[in-house]
Amino acid sequence: MKIYREENLSDFEFWSGATQISEKLTNKEFEQIECMLEELYPDGVDETDINDLFWHESETVASWIGTTEEEILERY
């Protein structure tokens, strides 16, 4: 059974390697990424795909907010 829900990206519970990036993003950055995801996936996207994007495609996610993965990881 699949259960779909609408959720703000900033409230999403990331896991594994995706937390390295997600824990250092601001609410404004989450909003920018969320807009991009809504444009790319108008019918929605599942939790695993979101998590994998932040984990394995973090450089792409960083580029959507005008920065690099390295710059995000260097934040306190």
pLDDT tens, residue by residue, 40-66: 999 989 999 999 999 999 999 999 999
**Whole-prediction pTM:** 0.90
pLDDT per residue over 16-31, tens digit each? Answer: 999 999 999 999 999 9
| Cβ pair 69, 21 in contact under 8 A | yes
- Cα R_g (the chain), whole angstroms: 12
Q: Where are the alpha helices (H) located in the chain, listed in sequence order?
A: 19-22, 27-40, 47-56, 58-64, 69-73
Contact predicate 53/21, CB 8 Å:
no
Is the pLDDT assigned to residue 75 strictly greater than 80? yes
When pLDDT is averaged across residues 3-18 and rounded to a whole number, the result is 91
